[in-house]
Amino acid sequence: MSSKEKTITIFYGPQHPASGHMRIILEVDGDVVIKADPDIGYVHRGIEKLAEHKTYFQVIPMVERQCLPDAAHHNLAYVLALEELLGIEAPERAQYLRTLLAEINRIASHLYGMGLHGVSIGSSTAYMWCFGLREYMLILAEKLTGARITYSYIIPGGVRRDIPQGFSQDVERYLRLFERKMRDLDKLFISNPVTKARLEGVGVLPKEEAIKLGVVGPVLRASGVEYDVRRVRPYAAYPWIDFEIAVKKEGDSYARLLVRVKEIEESIKIIRQVLKDLPDGSILHERYMKLLPPRLKEYVTNTGLVKFPGVFATMKVPKGEGIGSVEAGRGELIYHLISNGESKPYRLKISTPSFRNLILFSHLIKDVKVADVPAIYLSLDYFPPEADR
């Protein structure tokens, strides 16, 4: 007698209130999930192929639109790879300003993930509060760079704009308001007994499995491995700033949430240190400043807005390869750029943190109930356009 087929296949598809732009194919027996298989590629736009047909400078806005909540880190990693090929290093004031934008963006990215996680568990108050706090950070970024989300602030040789007058006092005022509201958010959502009951003990990832599967970011640090690219291979202004790394040992969804909250507090400390220790100097490298005519050079030093030299449009880069590695909001990001001596890249390979965490879908979503699937999947902070490129 052959056994009857008991399992049902469910498409947890792109049209779903808690799914995002991807599909998970679940095999369900009653209320228990037996197997989960991710089906991605709904946002694949072909960035790696398109980068071979654009000049080096035109790739910068295209690469930023992979992960919109976290655009400054993609910008920074590409420019670090390009500067390694050109053989230059940005001046010190520019390194500090790059760190400032990167940390503001890290806070905004973590709040985005926490807001979506809250609304899928059932707390739409958490969604409204987290997104409202995120708007404070976007207002600060708009004062610094001129745009809300897609900045294009970091260029090869330095940054594009200096800080405006009165910026430090504005930042201090906003940060004090932000810290007061974070304490209220803590009582409302993070230490709430309903949240703890839903998230503790769900989707546990032990330390040996995390090492074997090669995961990155807060998921790795919540399982006990103390690996952060800002400490291990420092870049920008991180060698001169001190901060702590957030590590937890349990490895469940609640630990991942707490790691993100601790990282937000550390980022606030870093922003205060950067604004206190900001050195003087120019914001663009000498090699490009001396190509400007003297009237424009005076304009740049007086107002702090950079005018691009004409060589950026047809820059020919020497032959070789460059690697830029950065700790983005979701994990470790690696850009591998290979050049052939012409004015367009020969090959650009991007290894994003969301793509490296993809293996956890088929590994963690096993023998759990169907109602636990959003609690696990949104605690990994998976962003589909970043994984699909």
Partner 1 sequence: MMKYIRRIFRALVLKTPIKRLLGWSVAYSIWPVHMVTSCCGVEFAAMADPLFDSERTGLLPFTSPRQTDAIILEGSLSRKMARAVRLVYEQMQEPKYVISMGACSMDGGVFYNSYNLIRAREVLPVDFYVPGCPPRPEGVIRSIVLLQKKIKEGKGLE
Partner 2 sequence: MSELIDKLVNELRSKNYNVSREKGRIKVKVALENFVEVVKKLKNMGIDHVKSLTAIDYPSEGRIKVNYILGSYSTKELYETIIIVSLDLSRDSPSLPSLAKMFPSIIYQERECYEMLGIEFKGHDDLRHLLLSSEDFTDVHPLRKEFKIEEEGIMA
HEC per residue, 259-322: HHHHHHHHHHHHHHHHHHCCCCCCCECHHHHCCCCHHHHHHHHHHCECCCCHHHCCCCCCCEEE
Out of 18, 25, 149, 225, name the contact with partner 2 by CB under 8 A.
Answer: 225
Shortest spacing between CB 223 and partner 1, in angstroms: 28
Spatial strand order in the sheet of 23-29: 8-12, 23-29, 32-39, 368-369
User: Could you say which residues in the range 119-178 bind partner 1, by CB under 8 A?
Assistant: 127-128, 131-132, 134-135, 148-150
Size of the site for partner 1 (CB under 8 A): 36
What residue 225 binds from partner 2, partner 1, none (CB within 5 to 8 A, per partner kind)? partner 2
What residue 15 binds from partner 1, partner 2, none (CB within 5 to 8 A, per partner kind)? partner 1
Out of 148, 307, 349, 366, name the contact with partner 2 by CB under 8 A.
Answer: 349
User: Could you say which residues in the range 83-122 bind partner 1, by CB under 8 A?
Assistant: 112, 115-116
Element housing 106 (H / E):
helix 92-121
User: Could you say which residues in the range 10-39 bind partner 1, by CB under 8 A?
Assistant: 13-17, 20-21
Strands 158-159 and 347-351: unpaired
DSSP string, 366-388: SSEEGGGHHHHHTTTT--HHHHH
Shortest spacing between CB 111 and partner 2, in angstroms: 28
Task: Give the C-alpha separation, 54 to 58, whole Å.
Answer: 6
- On whether the CB atoms of residues 233 and 325 are closer than 8 A, the answer is yes
The residue with tokens 């790691």 is 259
- Classify 41 as helix, strand or coil: coil
Out of 214, 239, 293, 318, name the contact with partner 2 by CB under 8 A.
Answer: 214
State the greatest distance between any 2 C-alpha atoms of the chain, in Å, as a whole number. Answer: 90
Q: Which residues bind partner 2 (CB under 8 A)?
A: 40-41, 44, 46, 48-50, 53, 84, 210-214, 220, 225, 227, 232-233, 323, 325, 332, 334, 336, 338, 346-347, 349, 351, 355-356, 358-359, 388
Q: Which residues bind partner 1 (CB under 8 A)?
A: 13-17, 20-21, 41-47, 49-50, 53, 61-62, 65-66, 68-69, 112, 115-116, 127-128, 131-132, 134-135, 148-150, 385
